[in-house]
Amino acid sequence: MWANPGQLFNRNGHAIDVRGEVWPLSDYSGNCFINWNLLVIALDFKDSMKAYLAHVIESQAPRAASSVFVHLKRCVSQLPPVPSLEELSYSDIESVLVRLRNSGNAWEFGHMRRWYAWCARQGIPGFTVEIAKTLSKLKVATNSTGMAVHSRDPERGPLNDEEHWLVRQALKYKQGPLLERVCVMLMLELGARPGQLILLNEGDYRAISSPKGQRFCSLEISRLKQNQLVPEKKSRRISSELGESIEELIQENHRLYGDTGSKSPLLRSMNKESKSIGRMTGLIFLYRSRSYARKIGMISPRTGTTLDLYPYRLRYTFGTRHANQGTPAAVLADLLDHSSRASISVYTKATNNSVVRLNEAVGSNTRFSSLISRFLGQVDEGTSSIDSHNVINGSTPTLKNLGGLGTCGANFICNLMPPLSCYICPKFRAWKDGPHQEMLKELESYQEQLVQSTRNSSDRIPLQLNETIAAVKDLLAMLDQMQTPSP
């Protein structure tokens, strides 16, 4: 059995009481803990997990330790009934990976593998080095960062333009309860982490009026790095609308709880256990943000259900919209309080607007367009005595057959997608009298249909046709030049 010391010290030096079945972790959010009552498993299983989590608490951030417990608990719950660690076999552990793969959460198995390897190194009975080595050889997918942003998940990803407009209109006309409204406004306008916002004090709000009557509002935002509170704050400008709502909330706090000074929490909530009013926890902030849309009856045009204003979803929206507007990577990293530009690549890679702006800038400039030719093939004079096996038919995405476009000069089996891939292929021999103009019209029409159906400016499917359309235009320009008599 693990010799429970009764008290642990996390990497920040804070004492953690581990005598009971609920371990309160010392975290800035105030709602970080490990509840062993949620884990129904053999006692020696739980004992080994407690020993491992004690190691994690001492070496990682409090919230990271809480996350490890959640994922490890989910893995262990997938095990078949095993009365003790002595009867735990490799096939039992492998069955967990199979179940996780079927549910699309194979990356969670990494937590179970690390737990087993650590326990085997400690010599805990029931864990073997042989099984640990076998587990280390398994290839397990890692958790893909930014999937909700890249995939534009309709429930967890950034809000689209219509949803963003609905939220802004509701905030503009002050719909819904004041506290919930301020929570959503803070997330939507600052894009900060929820943990940074619950640390706001009333004294962090500043409002300055210029001689001409213009108001300048700002907030002093606490900084967080690797789930750790950094002893410095960053000044961020906010809109006058958000400033007015914050002033209204401060007046409401003073009316209900009294004026206790500039160190008073801006966002407050009631502690159910002590029945006292204190700083809002991260869990309550999550509830307040998500309940805003429900309380005002806001329905998503995409899903037809109540719009889920999950706090990090609003942060994703902030980052995505700034990337779409062309905000430099260094500036966006500073706004999102990231240490490096690499951390915000999830937003910059998910947008095509930089390519669109580049095309708009140089596309109409003949100096650049004459240097960049998308059409890489050659022009063939005629269509007589052609082997029909080499003819490329003009099959369009709109299911039309325009006839022969040209021939393929490759001496190998092509694995691309003719005819769309042919215009940018150097092996293509385009016929002078081919229906290239008709193909261009069909491609542009099809692309417009895709854009209208998705209404997503970053949808990559319509954008994949851009190069082919440009290549067809290059070919048509070349044919016009060939038909124009020289002076």
Counting every residue written for the chain, the total comes to: 487
Model confidence at 471: pLDDT above 90: no
Going along 240-390, which residue ranges are E strands? 268-271, 276-279, 378-380
Residue whose C-alpha is closest to residue 373's, from 469, 474, 465, 468? 474
* Predicted local confidence at residue 56, as pLDDT: 93
205 or 467: whose pLDDT is higher?
205
Cβ-Cβ contacts under 8 Å for 180 (sequence gap 6 or more): 288, 289, 291, 292, 295
Asked whether residue 36 carries a pLDDT value surpassing 90, the answer given is: yes
Give ∠ CA 420-426-428 in degrees, rounded to 5: 55
**pLDDT at residue 292, rounded to an integer:** 96
Confidence bin at 102 (pLDDT 50/70/90): confident
What is the pLDDT, as a whole number, of residue 295? 95
Residue 63 pLDDT grade (very low, low, confident, very high; cuts 50, 70, 90):
confident
Distances (CA, A) of 130 to 109, 123, 138, 304: 18, 12, 13, 52
- Stretch 93-106: mean pLDDT: 88
* Pairwise pLDDT comparison (168 vs 139), residue with the higher score: 168
Over residues 124-148, the mean pLDDT reads: 85
- For 374, 438, 458, the CA distances from 473, given in Å and listed in that order, are 9, 11, 23
User: Which range (22-26, 157-161, 326-330) has the least confidence?
Assistant: 326-330
- Please name the residues in contact with 328: beta carbons below 8 A apart, sequence gap of 6 or more: none
**Confidence at 145, pLDDT banded by 50, 70, 90:** low
DSSP state at residue 409: -
How far out from the chain centre does Cα 325 lie?
18
**Residue range 12-33: average pLDDT?**
82
Cα-based distances in Å from 407 to 227, 392, 403: 60, 5, 12
Domain 148-348, second-level architecture:
Orthogonal Bundle (1.10)
Q: Is the pLDDT of residue 271 over 80?
A: no
In the structure, what pLDDT confidence band is assigned to residue 380 with cuts at 50, 70 and 90?
confident
| 3-class secondary structure, 233 | strand
Least confident segment among 217-231, 323-337, 352-366, 416-430: 352-366
Percent of the chain with pLDDT strictly greater than 70:
83
Please write the tens of the pLDDT for every residue from 273-315: 666 788 888 889 999 999 999 999 999 998 899 999 999 999 9
Whether the pTM exceeds 0.85: the reply is no
- What 3-state DSSP class applies to 403? strand
Report how far residue 103's alpha carbon sits from residue 75's, in angstroms, rounded to the nearest whole number: 12
Which tokens go with 393? 């038919």
Whole-number pLDDT of residue 328: 83
Instruction: Name the one residue in this structure whose structure tokens are 């400039």.
Output: 365
Report residue 297 as tokens. Answer: 């009856």
Q: Give the chain's count of helices (H) and strands (E).
A: 19, 13
Q: Are 144 and 151 in contact (CB under 8 A)?
A: no
Residue 51 banded pLDDT, cuts 50, 70, 90: very high
3-state secondary structure of 283: helix
At 422 the pLDDT is 83
Q: How confident is the model at residue 95 (pLDDT cuts 50, 70, 90)?
A: very high
Residues 410-430 have pLDDT tens digits of: 766 565 677 777 887 878 888
Flag whether pLDDT at 353 surpasses 70: no
187 phi and psi angles, rounded to 5 deg: -70, -45
Predicted confidence band at 68 (pLDDT cuts at 50, 70, 90)?
Answer: very high
Model confidence at 257: pLDDT above 80: yes
- Model confidence band, residue 93 (pLDDT cutoffs 50, 70, 90): very high
Structure tokens at 192: 């900060």
Residue-level pLDDT at 462: 67
Predicted confidence at residue 245, as pLDDT, reads: 96
The percent of residues in the chain predicted with pLDDT above 90, rounded, is 38
Tell me: pLDDT of 480 over 80.
yes
Parts of the chain belonging to CATH 1.10.443.10: 148-348
As a whole number, the mean pLDDT across the chain is 83
